[in-house]
Amino acid sequence: MKQIILFFLIMFSSGIYAQTTNNKVCCDENKTEATGMFAKFSDEKEFRDKHPDPLKINYDDHKGEMIKFLTSDGKDGNGYFIKGTSDKWLLVFHEWWGLNDYIKKESDKFSESFPGVNILAVDLYDGAIATTREEAQKLVQGLNKDRAITIINGAFNYGGSESKFGTIGWCLGGTWSCQAAIEGGDKVDVCVIFYGAPEENKDRLKLLDAPVLMIHPLKDKWINQDMMDKFSANMKSLDKKFEILTYDADHGFANPSSPNFNNKEANESWLKVKEFLEKNLVN
């Protein structure tokens, strides 16, 4: 009898260990997904230190307004909206700081460059904004993937079923620019990614119809060359349209809120992005 009891105790303990081990593998695998990479990166001190606290900005000349739109989970989504005069939309995705005045200013810049296009900067944080990298770390790690996708689809619905869309974002927002283009399918005409993690799952990439412009700084340790090589191979194997532009710069070089902002490289990349958007969305 004791032997039987001991046998079941061993089996039960083994089951708990196996379940715990499997859960750990599952969680580690989730961290390697494109949308989970920044939560993983934010654990690294070096990555956090690459993101100095954003410089203060005095920006009151807003051309748009904050709006709310419906999402399928019954909650409102938020966005900064500049109304255009066409059925073309550009969805703008913020960095890990959230939808702050820098993103609003960049959105206004897009509106000035493409006056007929509706510009909607999508708030993935449901109103939260970080002013320190510690706060940003918590927001990234707390970002719910399902909620973010629900917000993105709510933004598409707000734009309307007959509209055509482009997506653009930086860092965390670059990753979500790619995901939004996948979610939008044939509604999306163009996708721009500034040093964001591209999707690696080829089944997901099959859903991507839009041509992609990837802005890649060669000194980026995290969104690195190996990742670009894999993305390039996947896109070629699926016969997808894409272009990768490289710059002798580091992660975050186009971020105007950072003390490490590289004005020369940022301006050069902006001209390429502007041309890409004009060709694939505006015209």
Instruction: Show pLDDT as tens, one digit a residue, over the chain (283 residues).
Output: 444 444 333 333 334 333 333 333 333 334 448 888 888 898 898 898 888 898 888 888 899 999 999 999 999 999 999 999 999 999 999 999 999 999 999 999 999 999 999 999 999 999 999 999 999 999 999 999 999 999 999 999 999 999 999 999 999 999 999 999 999 999 999 999 999 999 999 999 999 999 999 999 999 999 999 999 999 999 999 999 999 999 999 988 998 777 778 889 999 999 999 999 999 999 8
Classify strands 118-123 and 188-194 as parallel, antiparallel or unpaired.
Answer: unpaired
- How far apart CA 135 and CA 228 sit, in angstroms, is 29
Edge to edge, what strands does the sheet with 76-82 contain?
Answer: 65-70, 76-82, 118-123, 88-93, 164-170, 188-194, 212-217, 242-247
DSSP letter (8 states) at residue 168: E
3-state secondary structure 74-131: CCEEEEEEECCCCCEEEEEECCCCCCCHHHHHHHHHHHHHCCCCEEEEEECCCCCCCC
pLDDT given for residue 55 in this prediction = 86
- Residue range 30-61, pLDDT digits in tens: 444 888 888 889 889 889 888 889 888 888 88
Half-sphere exposure of 114 (CA within 13 A, CB side): 28
Classify strands 118-123 and 88-93 as parallel, antiparallel or unpaired.
Answer: parallel
Q: Positive or negative, the Cα torsion across 164, 170, 174, 180?
A: negative
pLDDT given for residue 7 in this prediction = 39
- How far apart CA 254 and CA 165 sit, in angstroms, is 23
Cβ atoms 153, 141 nearer than 8 A:
no
pLDDT given for residue 260 in this prediction = 73
pLDDT given for residue 26 in this prediction = 32
pLDDT given for residue 56 in this prediction = 86
